[in-house]
Structure 1
Amino acid sequence: MKLGSGGGGSAAPSALPSGASAESIVSGVTSVPATTLDTVAAGAKPSLPTALTGQPALTDGGKPLILYVGAEYCPFCAAQRWPVVIALSRFGTFSGLTLTTSAADDSYPNTPTLSFHGSTYQSQYLSFQGVETTTNTRKNGQYGQLDTLTAAQQQVVAKYNAAPFVPADSAGAIPFIDFANKALQAGASYSPQLLADHTHQQVLDAIKNPDSQVGRAIDGSANAMTALLCKITGNQPGDVCSSAAVKAFQGEFANVGQ
């Protein structure tokens, strides 16, 4: 999905969880048990980030920077945020995550998800910047503006979300994730169609169930990102980076950092 695009089917959105229900869902997705992730291992074999070589380090505050660029209307972003949050929560702590859905008038309407808009992330190992450029509702035909890319973020996107770093037909796609200039992902690692007709709670329940199709897709994707992040952090923290979840992707990111 290209940044700023949209259009397609529509469906009536369900009410978002609020209050204690919303807090419980956010708490659940940021604390998926390690035993569940280890059981899933490679899961449904998600599409993997592509390793970069020979690029200058992308850092923030002296730590490797993970830059996510998406938009709230985007169903592929909606799908991808679940594993991104699960993976990064193994290295640090989010504050201010909220629940939302993709647009009601786009493909895969009302895909349940979280939003990075207004959130922060603290970690001794990594820095994270989550940019949500627009809302999931239109005003005068356009999705409303949310976050604005900084000049530094714009430079990263202009260079790396384009050929030859991503395939020409994927250039400009969202979600776009730059993993400290060590690897890139443009697009989702699994189809948002898997989340069709799911509520936020049902997605969380599936994430906690290593036998579910949705859980194997999301947790498998989170495990792949965790393995990549372990390469970036020098295999820290040790308990995470020595886990069965990470070992399931051993060798997949052998070129990272070279």
Structure 2
Amino acid sequence: MITVEFSLLLVELILLIVTVILLVMNLREEKGRQDLIKEVGRATKVLTRQEYFNEVIRSYHDAKKSIFGCVTGSPPDGEEEGEMINTIVKHIRDLTKEGVKIRFMIPKFTDRLHIGYRYSQAGAEVFYNNCALVNDARYMVIDDRFVLIGVPEKVGENEPTKKGYRIPSIGISAIIREHYDQCANSKFTATYEEYVKEIIQEMKRIKPELDFEPVARELQIPIGELKRIDTLNITPKPTLKVNI
């Protein structure tokens, strides 16, 4: 004979089972929502970064006289970014052959010398200075007529660019040009060759019989290029910090 107590326990057991089932279903649904959000986030990131890259390429196509700007100069991370850099280098080479003047300001860190070397070899003028703005936004000014601004996902010179904004404005171009000129004219700004020479001299001060092979491997610059710069009669610019 089924007692009242047994009936109540049975009902409680059934309710507990139903609760557990609903909880499991809710957790699965929540995980599904989170996975969906992550996938959408990844897709959005790819699209926005691709959009920025497309704007960069479009800017190179539109340039007739000059391009200058502050860029991160970070080494490519992965095959996709490597292909982007190759495309940019090709455009720099083609434009400089046509007489377009191209100048870039890059943060003064040794891991940025690889990009400086490649841009310099393609025909651009490359300078190094830790101008603060490049940590928060990267920019290019094309023909002093329009600006391309890249915004990172969060503050930091190593952070990837999230999205690009193209602004056709002579006035804004002039304002950003003023910031660039202040950096370029700073006594702490070094050309690509001056910065490499500075590093070589600092290393020779520590070890006079310098072996260029590990240096070339570390900086991702050919040994022949390092030896060429070593022979140049260059006086390195004063610096607040030597990043080795």
Give the structure-1-normalised TM-score: 0.23
User: Which structure would you say has the larger Rg?
Assistant: 2
Larger RCO of the pair (alpha carbons < 8 Å, separation 6+) = 1
More strand by share: 1
